[in-house]
Structure formats: structure tokens, C-alpha cells
Amino acid sequence: MTDGPLADLLVLDLTRALAGPHAAMMLGDMGARVIKVESPTGDDSRGWGPPFVGEDDERESTYFMSANRNKESLVLDLKSEEDRDVLARLVERADVLMENFRTGVLDRLGFPVARLHELNPRLIVLSITGFGHDGPEAMRSGYDQIAQGEGGLMSITGTEQPTKVGVPIADLIAGMYGAYGVLAALHERSQTGLGRVVRTSLLAGMVGVHAYQGTRWTVGGEVPGLAGDHHPSISPYGMFATGTAPVQIACGSEGLWRALCGAFGWDPTEAEFATNALRVTNRDALVARIETLFADQPAEHWLSLLSDAGVPSGKVRQMDDVYGWDQVLSQGLLLSVDHATQGSLKLPGSPIRFDEQPFSGGRSEHVAPPTLGQHNASIREWLES
């Protein structure tokens, strides 16, 4: 038993790789009991590495660990009638089933949506695909790298050529939207007593986060290009070279522009830069002016000056620096868990906190990602109870 706002929910996670596992982990972080149903060979991401930890039969993928905390692992071979019967009994008890098979695979395994709802009319089904469950390209495989390109994100990321984001952002966003849809369906179920199917895709997630870059085209008729390290609609807002490390500045209002000019001894009404629109038009000249000024002093000097002036600014931290930063630690964003074979581990935490709790996620204790089939016996015993 767990605690947390979703502690009364049972989630069956039939997904693998990242989008679906991330969605299920979000619910697990909030206290839901999540049973990860894996094939005999396990989630694909168990083999993604290096880096791995552990040796030989106890080797574990750090990639897998990133998306599977707060879960139990049950191995089922869904080509086996006996194991399909186990899944059917789990479905009868579950609140949510998540799957990211290609369209039609779950049907061929004997679990079309109609049967799932015959077994459990209250079941919420989350289906995550690559490009949507219908339409002319529904059967395409969904991989993050491809979705980042096809969904337009790479066309606005980078400086000299399209660049993917440094994490599988299409997977992660689809997972977040999927969890968001599940919670809405659970709320509806509290009124209707019936489940429904929630659908999203990597493509939908990419289009869903276009934000102002999308309306630049749909409303403004402008095709966005590579944004690089500077905001296309606000200036100065981006990364600037100094005598040592780069410094980021977010000058998002005229008041902040005046504060920046005060710190630098500049005239904020200078004709070339008097308004944000002019600063965007003349961005190259403004960037050159700032970087010429910054070249004579280290980053720490300029960060201190900007902070004193009230201008938002910051470093570009590497991962080791992020996870050693006292502000990150103060937000409960680094969790300690005990792994079945690897002992004590540190994992990134949930980005959600409730009330004044000092840790992230809605539960008071987090559980390490499971080894393959770690909970086979306990889950089967529970099903027989």
C-alpha cells in the first residue's frame, strides 16, 4: 500500500521505451500502484546503454531507471493463453491500462478495447502511438528522433542546422499529455461510472508544444526558422559569451530593459534599441554590443551585476552541477531509493510537490525501478487472494 492523492488507483503499464513508461511513472509518483507488465525479454530500454550499473546477470540500464521508479514488474508472455488469463484478471481489477503498441497489436493479442471494457467497464485506456491511431500514416512506427523532425521541433532548434533536443522530448511530452488525459478521464468516471479511451501520440505532443512558434505560421503567416540561442520575439533574451563561461539573460519587459541599461551605463531610449520590436530587428547589433562589453570580465562578474540590477540571468550548468546545486536539492528533486540488486541509488525526482512536503511526488516514500519480473510471485499471489 502507498500514500498520495492517487493511492486508490491500480495502473497496468503495458508500455515500453519512454513515452508510456513516463506517463505511468507520473501516476506512480502520486501514489498509484503501477504494475509494469513486461515480455520475457523485458522492456526494450533495459538494454539501452551504456551506461549500465552492476555486473553480468545483475546489470541494469540507467536509461530504464529514468522512467520506471515506483513500479512493480510482472513478466507475462501474451502469446501464452495462461498469461493472457492473468492479464484479463488484472484488467478486471485495474483503473487504468496504458499501452503504446502499434495500432492493432493489442487487438491481435486478444484485448481489443471492446473486450477490455467488457472485462471492466470502468477501465481508462491510454493509447500512445507515434503518429496517431488513425489517418493516412497511422501505421508508422513512433520514435522520438523521427517525431522531433516530423513534428517541426527540429526546424526551430539549433543554430546552423536543425538539431534535436538533448532529451527524448517527443516521448516525454506525449507521456505528460497522456497522464493529463488519464486524470481528466478519471474525473469524468467519478461522475459517469464509465471508463473511456484516451489517445495521444508523439506527433500530437510535438504540435502541442509549438506555442507561439505555431501561431507565427497559423496566424502570422511566417514560417519560423532556427531559433538558436536567442528568442525570436524578445530581445535581449538569450545566451551571451563572456570572458569565461556564457551567461543567459531574459530581458522580457521594457522595465527590465531599462534596468539592464542602468547596470551597463547605457541610454535605454537610444533610437536603435528603444523598443522591443527595434531590439528584435537589430538583434545582431545588440548581441555584439553586449558580448563586446562582457568579453573583459568573467561570467561571475556579470551575473552579480545583473542580479543586483534585478535582471533575470543565469549560468548554463552541466548535469553534475545541477544535481549538486542546493536549490535543486531544496526542491526534493533528487531521491534516494534502495534497489533490489544495486543497493542505494540516487534518482531524479518528480517535479510536483504538495503542500509543505520536503520531497517531490505525492507519496512519502519512493521505490526503486524494479528488476525484470521482480514481483512475479507477489502479484500472482495477490491475484489469488
Instruction: Give the domain CATH number at 39.
Output: 3.40.50.10540
pLDDT on residue 382 = 97
pLDDT on residue 359 = 74
The C-alpha cell that represents 172 in the structure block: 516525454
Count of CA atoms in the C-beta half-sphere (13 A) of 360: 20
Does residue 70 belong to any structural domain of this protein? yes
Amino acid code (one letter) for 192: T
Distance CA 144, CA 231 (A): 24
Q: Is the pLDDT of residue 222 over 90?
A: yes
- With contact defined as beta carbons under 8 Å apart, do 56 and 341 qualify? no
pLDDT on residue 361 = 81
Q: How many domains does the chain have?
A: 1
Convert the pLDDT of each residue in 26-83 to its tens digit. 999 999 999 999 999 999 999 999 999 999 889 999 999 999 999 999 999 999 999 9
Does residue 197 belong to any structural domain of this protein? yes
Convert the pLDDT of each residue in 227-274 to its tens digit. 899 999 999 999 999 999 999 999 999 999 999 999 999 999 999 999
What pTM, to 2 d.p., does this model score? 0.94
pLDDT on residue 340 = 96
Task: Give residue 37's domain range.
Answer: 10-209+355-384
Give the residue numbers marked as catalytic.
Answer: 231
Does residue 123 belong to any structural domain of this protein? yes
Does residue 269 belong to any structural domain of this protein? no
Does residue 227 belong to any structural domain of this protein? no
